[in-house]
Structures are given as structure tokens and as C-alpha cells.
Chain A
Amino acid sequence: MVRLEGEVGIGDALELKGALLDGLALRRGLRIDVAVAMALDVTIFQLLWAGRHAAGEAGMEFSVSGPVAQEIVLTMDRAGLEKFPVVAG
């Protein structure tokens, strides 16, 4: 599981990419916990999207556990980004 905390942005993107690749390599699926994330920037959204895509291609599960902060939901809406299926935390 990858937990995102607080405001997560470009400074964390490289670390998140590594975490997602590690998760994919282990072939156990990707679970992203955003319950305590307050805001995400575009680098994080596109990494999550790429992670979801890679998991799908590999036949693995990809899920986001929430609740998702209102600010993040609003940002995704405003940017026309497809929402991730959120499971209970």
C-alpha cells in the first residue's frame, strides 16, 4: 500500500513512482491510501493514472482507499480527470 499524506506534489513524484513500480514488481496489486492526503498536484494524478493503467495491463488490482479530501475531488472535477474507484479505508 502506498499512503499519501498531506500535500503531495512534484517533490514526492519520484518517490511515488518508485513505490508504484515496486508494487507492480511484486504483482500484488496497487492500493493507494489517500485518506490523509489534503491535495495532489498534476504529477501525482498522472502517476496514479499510469499506475492504474499498468496494473490493469498486468491483470492486477488497482484501488484507492479514502475518504478522498474534498479539495482533491474538486481539483479532479475542475481538471476533467477521471475519478478513481474509491474503496473504504
Chain B
Amino acid sequence: MSRSGAGANGSQVDKYRQAFQEEAREVLIELESTLLELNQSPGDSELVGKAFRALHTIKGSGAMFGFEQVAAFTHNLENAFDEVRNGRLRISSELIDLSLAALDQIKAMLQQATGQVEDGERVADSAACAEIVAQLLKVTGPLSSSPASGPAPAAPAQPSEVQEAQSGATAVWKIGFAPGPDLLRNGTDPLLLLRELGQLGELRATADLAAVPPIAELDPERCYIRWELELTTSAPREAIRDVFIFAEDECELTVCELTVGAAEGAGTSAAASVSGEVSGEVSGEPARRFGRRAEDHAGASSIRVPTAKLDQFVDLVGELVTVQARLGAIALRGEDPDVVSVAEEVERLTSALRENSMSIRMMPVRGTFERFRRLVHDLARDLRKEVELTLEGSETELDKTVIDQLNDPLMHLIRNSMDHGIEAAEARLAAGKPAGATLRLSARYSGANVLIEVADDGAGIDAAAVRRRAVERGLIAADVELTEAEVHALILSPGFSTARTVTGVSGRGVGMDVVRQRVEALRGTLHVASRQGVGTTVTLRLPLTLAIIDGLLVRVGHAFFVLPLANSLECIELTRQDIADANGKHIANVRGEMIPYIRLREHFDIRSERPEREQIMIAETEDGRCGFVVDEVLGDHQTVIKNLGQFYRHVQFISGATILGDGTLALILDPDRVIQDVLRSRREGAAGEHFFPPPIESMGGGARGGVQLDST
């Protein structure tokens, strides 16, 4: 029999390489944030260590998975941060800018390796890489372990050759290393770690194979071997730990000092122990087993799932919800208690499954928010403005689909704010403001929505200038009366821009309109609040999810509608007497509160006989409380949102459609848009008439003020 293995299996290697690329991208995003934080706090040694470890991970894993170019290039940056870590180099804005430029190149290298460089994406530039390396060497001075831009070492190069040379203290370390079950599957070869460890000094290894099971039971992708290692080195404990940086979550590791040849520092002198005995306390901390990490890992284990599979899963759950509704309807018609009981159980399980699948799709906005640190840093430099970005509510979660589409609108808002809103330092000082501006990016929950705000303390919107511009552009008549909020809303009009000079940052006159369209495509709304001289706040109201909502099913004639339950407050009866009492005006008196209402029958021109008693579903909307008059409220309805397709994309007051248990189609209404549609119709019919009183703007705490309905 003859079997041969010509290197690693291709698909397996591809899988590991892909996993590395995905993880490296995440590490790079975090690293970028760390660098920008370091720019603000250059003395923070924790941040320095974090940056170093991230670079070490990218370099080491890159070399392991065949990304030699990435590994070699990252090595230079890692060396620079090793110098910082060891106090031989100080963090400077020059080093941060070089590091950020290097990160861009690493990202481009990773992207190129996938062969999927899209339009507008950066391509790795070897000349730029060489320049970055040259500049880094200027900053750090020549380093013995810098390979410049040459090929990467076969194994991850150890970072602490310099440390060893400067330490001068030799110690013997006893290291216990037991790879966890997933170490190999995550692409770490323990033998390469041992090789790297061996580069720190003289290494003696003893392999313990006692746990290797009989071959028939052996999982070939798991490492069963444990090692007892003895390392004689002058490298510090930190350097030993660094070798295991990208494995320590996947292994048990103990590092104990046996002897200390020379004084290593105040922290270790007291712990220098008798030769041959393991010191339990070295460097001021107990010799610790990294078993804790293994336990943590067991509790928090996770797997990566392609997003396409996740989308498919949610689609299937959506279909199940629809089928379950049909089953429920059939069970109720049949009146068989056994069938009803099963249908109720299916409903309960479907509801739990739906909740579960939705929670899987939810992601914190942190990843998106953190990316803007870099944008703000670069723009501030280019525009010569001092801007500090503060992030709030980064842990707020949104549906992945929403998050994926949030980047461009937020980027545009931030660019606009930095370019047009925030003044130059001199202008700010002249206005009695601090030279440094603050840009706040925040997220918070609001019912079934998330509010995302981009707020600056800049010059605010010049309402008079906006109005003049709108008249010039023919967007409004010169004599039309507008509230300040309506003037602010003009900046969301297509082609509107008050910027007289088109800059590379913004001011091309399409930005805010595009932002509005993008946000509305996500079933969200955009609101601008501004006060001249104080600042501007743009608020995005976004639904938590785009896939399934809880709704209230209502009927008008033969038509069915779903109103989002999150907006619904209560249902009350509307009699003909009530209508007569209001002198025919569309206003209901709800416990003394006058609430305007919209009759869906009239709005959608549904021709059927009006019942004697109608129902008003009172909803909380952006513009205050409003009623929607229907024939009958049928009850709660879990709604799977089906897109109505391109043909109906301009019908904005309909969020989508859903299929009822009996196969009937129901339209999902967007209450806010229905109101806007009514307001628009009324404006066109009678200029100046307001369905709601004008909103009261507020700055600071929120985007909008309250709506005083009783003043109508």
C-alpha cells in the first residue's frame, strides 16, 4: 500500500488562511483604535503593550499561514513598538501616522491576497511600504532584528533579541505547555512556538505523550502532547509570555522561574529561589496556570459562521413564522382541542426560535464606531482642526444588516460635520470656545429603535444662509414661511449645499440627500437639530431589525394592515357621536388629550361601508401621538417583512408586506411616513396648514423636543 501526502490539503489550508484573514482584519480594526488612543495618551503603557501584542499576532500568524509579505512588513512595526515597550522610543504623532499608514498597507495586502480588491479599495503599494519602513527606521534607529521589507522568516521571528542583549540577567525558567483541543484547528502549530521559544535561549524540552489515545480514537486535528520545558535565558518573563501570545487562550501555560543568575529588578529579587525548586511567586505575581483562560474559553466558546448561512437561517425562521400563523388560523377554525394545543406549542417554539435567531443577528455598533476614530484623526490633520471624537453607547446592538449599511451615512455625516460644522481653532477661540472641538458619536435604544447621533459643538447651521440657498436653487418660494426645523430639513434636499467651495472632504452637494436616502432605505429617519454658534446634532432613528417585527393587525374594509406594535399605545372606539362632537375635525378627545387622527379608509381610498363603531389605534410617532382609524383591530401579529420589490420602492409609507395565515397579503405601515404623507398632501392642498404643531428643537440631550399636541 502506498499513500502520500504532498503538503497540506488545499481546502483545509484555504480555510485556515481565510480564518486568519478575518481575524487579522478584526485585530487591525482594534489596533487602529489603540493607535489613535495612544495618540491621545502617549504614555499609556497598557496601550503600548496592546499594540505590540496585536502586531505580534499579525506577524506570527501571518508567517504561519503563508502571508510572508504581511509578516515581514509587520515585523518592522512590531520592532518599533518593542522599542517603545522597552522605553527606548517614545510615542510621537509621527510614529502614530507611520503606523496608521502601515496598517493601511497591511489591510491592502490581506485584501489583495483574497484576490477580491473592489473599486475604491486601496491596493498594497510596495514603494509606499518601502518608504514606511525607511521612515520607521529613521524614527527607531537601526534595529538588529529589522529585516526591512525582506522576506519573512519561516517561523515568527522573536521580537526580543534586543531585550536579551540588554537584560544581562540569566535565569532558568520552567514552562509547562499543554495545547488545548482547538489550538491546532485555530492554526497554531505548537512546534513553531517551541522553535520561537528556543530562540530566546537554551531550551530543553520533554514531550509527554501519555495522553495520546489509541490511533483509532485519535482526533487527527487535536494535539494531545504536553511539554515540560526548561529555558535558560536572559530574556524577561514578558518575552516568554509573548511567544504564546496568540495561543494562550487555547492552552494551559505555566511559567515559573527556577533560578535567577543576576538581579533582574526589584520585583524579582525577593522571589529569587533556591536552584532546582520552582518558585511559586516570581516577579511579584503567583506562578499562574492559564487553566483559568481555558475555563473561560470553555464558557465563551464560539464559532464563526458565514453571514450567508446566517441570512439563510433567518429567512427560514421567517418562513416558519408565516407557516405557524397559517397553522394557528387553521387550528382555530377546526376547533379540535388537540390541534389547537399543538398549534399553540408550535407558536411558542416559533416565537422562541424567532427571538433566538434575531439575537444572533444583533451586533454591537462598536466595530462601526471605532472605525471613525481614524477618519476623524485623518480629517483633523488634513483640515488643520483640533477635534476629539467621543464614542458613547458602543455596546448598543443593531441587526447586522442595518450595521452593514450604516458605515457610509455615518462617514458622510462626520465628514460634513468636520468640514462645515466645526470651526478652525482661531475661529473657535474668537467665539469664546475652546480651540479643540468635540464630535460625539452615540447610540442608544428607543423602544424598537436605536437612535444614533452625530453631534458637534461647531458653528451650527446658518438658517438664513440655508434659506437663501434654497430660494436660489428654487427649492422653496422666496416668501414661504418655514419653521427653523423645516429650514434645517432643507439641507436634506437633493443637490442642496451651502458650501461654496467643493472640497475633497465634502461639499459636493449630494451628501446629505444620499445620507437621507440610505437611512430611509433602512426604514429609518434622519433629523437635524442645530443652534447657530452652539452646534449641530443629526439623529438617525433606525429599526433594531429589518427582518421581523411585532405588529398589530388591523382591517379596513377588505384590506389588512400591520402597524408596528412598538409604536402602538392603545386602541379606543370612535363612534359617530365622537365625530359629531369634534365638528367633523379629525381630532379625538382621549381622556382630555386632543389627539389628531388619520382615517386609513380615506387615506388609501378604500371603498367599503363604514361601520357604526370604528377603532382608533393610538401610536407614538416622531411628531407626537397620532391615531389611525380602522374598522377592526384583529390583534397581535408576528410579522415577517417581505420586500415589495423595486416597483414599489417609492411608496415610502409602506415598510413591506406580510402573508397572513389564510394567505392574504397585509401591508406593513410606517406610521411616521403615513403622517408625513398626510402632511405633504395637506401642504399641497392648503399651504401653511399644520397637522401637528411645529416641533420644538433642543440641543444636547436629544435630537428633538417634545410635541405639544394640546396647542393645536
Contact = CB atoms under 8 A, between A and B. Distances in A.
Interface string B58-78: 000000000000000000000
A64 interface: no
Interface stretch (B220-228, B243-251, B622-630, B657-665): B220-228
Nearest to B207: A80
Nearest to B215: A50
Nearest to B14: A11
A21 B216 contact: yes
B629 to A, nearest CB: 67
Contacts of A6: 5-7
B198 interface: yes
Interface string B219-258: 0110111010000000000000000000000000000000
B213 A50 contact: yes
A14 interface: yes
A24 B221 CA distance: 20
Interface stretch (B135-143, B189-197, B269-277, B605-613): B189-197
Contacts, number: 125
Contact of A17 (B6, B203, B218, B225): B218
B1 interface: yes
Q: Give the secondary structure class of A's interface.
A: helix
A78 to B, nearest CB: 5
A4 interface: yes
A7 B13 CA distance: 12
Contact of A11 (B1, B12, B215, B225): B12
A13 B220 contact: yes
> Considering residues B3, B6, B190, which has the most beta carbons from chain A within 10 angstroms of its beta carbon?
B3
Given A3-B3, A46-B225, A78 B195 contact: yes
A43 B220 contact: yes
Interface residues of B, number: 38
Contacts of B184: 10, 42-43
A10 B8 contact: yes
B101 interface: no
B204 to A, nearest CB: 7
Contact of B7 (A8, A14, A80): A8
B19 to A, nearest CB: 13
A49 B6 CA distance: 20
A66 interface: no
A47 B220 contact: yes
> Considering residues A5, A12, A18, A23, which has the most beta carbons from chain B within 10 angstroms of its beta carbon?
A12
A43 B4 contact: no
Contacts of B212: 46, 49-50, 53
B477 interface: no
A47 B218 contact: yes
Interface string B587-598: 000000000000
A43 B185 CA distance: 11
Contact of A54 (B5, B215, B220): B215
A42 B220 CA distance: 10
B566 interface: no
B4 A81 contact: no
Contacts of A14: 220-221
Contact size range, A: 35 or more
A40 B249 CA distance: 24
B5 A15 contact: yes
B194 A9 contact: no
Nearest to A75: B191
B204 A80 contact: yes
B209 interface: yes
A20 interface: yes
A3 B207 contact: no
Interface in A24-59: 24, 26, 41-43, 45-47, 49-51, 53-54
Contact of B215 (A9, A47, A79): A47
A4 B198 contact: no
A51 B2 contact: no
Nearest to B208: A80
A80 B227 contact: yes
Nearest to A9: B8
B205 interface: yes
A8 B4 CA distance: 9
A58 to B, nearest CB: 11
Contact of B8 (A11, A20, A49): A11
Contact of B1 (A2, A7, A81): A2
A1 interface: yes
B195 A16 contact: no
B8 A42 contact: no
B385 to A, nearest CB: 52
Interface string B454-494: 00000000000000000000000000000000000000000
Contacts of A81: 207
Contact of A3 (B4, B9, B206, B214): B4
Given A16-B3, A78-B191, A79-B227, A46 B218 contact: yes
Contact of A13 (B195, B207, B216, B221): B221
Contacts of A9: 7-8, 189
A60 interface: no
Contact of A12 (B1, B8, B206, B227): B8
Contact of A41 (B4, B12, B189, B214): B189
A46 B224 contact: yes
A6 B207 CA distance: 24
A2 B5 CA distance: 9
A29 to B, nearest CB: 11
Contacts of B224: 46
A5 B191 contact: no
A80 B194 CA distance: 10
Contact of A4 (B5, B190, B194, B213): B5
Given A10-B8, A53-B212, A80-B204, 17 more contacts: A5-B6, A8-B5, A10-B12, A10-B185, A10-B221, A11-B8, A11-B10, A12-B7, A15-B9, A21-B215, A21-B216, A41-B189, A47-B220, A50-B214, A78-B205, A79-B190, A81-B207
7 nearest CB pairs, A to B: A11-B8, A11-B9, A80-B205, A13-B220, A12-B5, A11-B12, A19-B3
Interface of A: 1-24, 26, 41-43, 45-47, 49-51, 53-54, 75, 78-82
6 contacts: A10-B184, A15-B5, A42-B189, A42-B190, A46-B218, A78-B191
Interface of B: 1-10, 12-13, 184-185, 189-191, 194-195, 198, 203-207, 209, 212-216, 218, 220-221, 223-225, 227
